[in-house]
Amino acid sequence: MPKGDSPGTNGAPGQSLLTVDGIETFYGGIQALKGISFKVPAGSIVALLGANGAGKSTTLKSISGLVPPLRGTVAFAGRRIDGLPSEKIVRMGISHVPEGRELFPELTVLENLKMGAYIRTDKRETQRGLERVQAHFPILAERRSQLAGTLSGGEQQMLAIGRAVMAQPKLMLLDEPSLGLAPMLVEEIFGIIGEIHASGTTILLVEQNANKALSVADYGYVLETGTISLAGDSQQLLQDDHVRRAYLGHR
């Protein structure tokens, strides 16, 4: 996906796989998202940046149906999905890797991976999925019989992403994949994200490590208190004074 044209707050160039239009999402009486709009072009990596509480995770939950928006629309591959149950959204081709991983700690690595393929009825397809995951994450093949709860933080993150890959998604929603990981593991995780993207998966990435996110993304959006305050291609955002001061540690 070429870089250079700013996506603006209302969309990015190229054929849109995901279109979010004016969504407003609430937790009880508290409004978390205040009418945000953006597009994720097919084949791209799009990053959502922002501080804690800006609405990044809520945006992903609104897309995947975990916290449906009260107003606005979400369209995936040309079909509206806002209001649909999460299971149906997964079946349509969206996988969500949540912040905190949310694995099944008392199940083995292999059992967790197979949970990611619960929508698959073809055993051969499930086996091919396992082979793909093990190609991305060889350590998971070694740990296949180990309980997920006994893995290291980095291995748990690999397992969470691997479980999402098992669903063979067209779009993967990644929420803070580098959270709590050592710098070396962050490099490894982002390398694998690049491999998954290269294999044909479009990615919407929520990440506080703005420098790392923008280094792999085509486009980025900055969220502040439930609104999109800034948007552009990744190189533009890396050079933006506000982004540099607020998220890249430059003065």
Burial class of 138 by CB neighbour count within 10 A (0 to 12, 13 to 18, 19+): exposed
Confidence of residue 250 (pLDDT cuts 50, 70, 90): low
CA distances for 129 relative to 115, 119, 120, 201, angstroms: 12, 12, 10, 14
Confidence of residue 14 (pLDDT cuts 50, 70, 90): low
Confidence of residue 7 (pLDDT cuts 50, 70, 90): very low
Query: Which structural domains are found in the chain, ordered by start?
Result: 9-93+169-251 (3.40.50.300), 103-168 (no CATH)
- The pLDDT tens digits of the residues spanning 149-197 come to 999 988 999 999 999 999 889 999 999 998 888 888 888 889 989 999 9
CA–CA distance, 207 with 200 (Å, rounded to integer): 21
pLDDT higher than threshold 60 for residue 4 = no
* SS3 (DSSP) at 70: coil
Q: Which residue has the higher pLDDT, 82 or 245?
A: 82
Residue with tokens 């928006």: 69
Of the chain, the end-to-end C-alpha distance in Å amounts to: 31
Q: Count the neighbouring beta carbons within 10 Å of the beta carbon of residue 72.
A: 17
Token pair in block for residue 178: 């580098």
pLDDT value of residue 1: 33
pLDDT higher than threshold 70 for residue 5 = no
Token pair in block for residue 34: 């205040």
pLDDT value of residue 8: 38
CA–CA distance, 146 with 66 (Å, rounded to integer): 29
Token pair in block for residue 122: 């073809």
- The pLDDT tens digits of the residues spanning 73-123 come to 999 999 999 999 999 999 999 999 988 778 999 999 999 999 888 877 778
% of residues, the chain, pLDDT over 70: 93
- The pLDDT tens digits of the residues spanning 199-226 come to 999 999 998 888 889 999 999 999 999 9
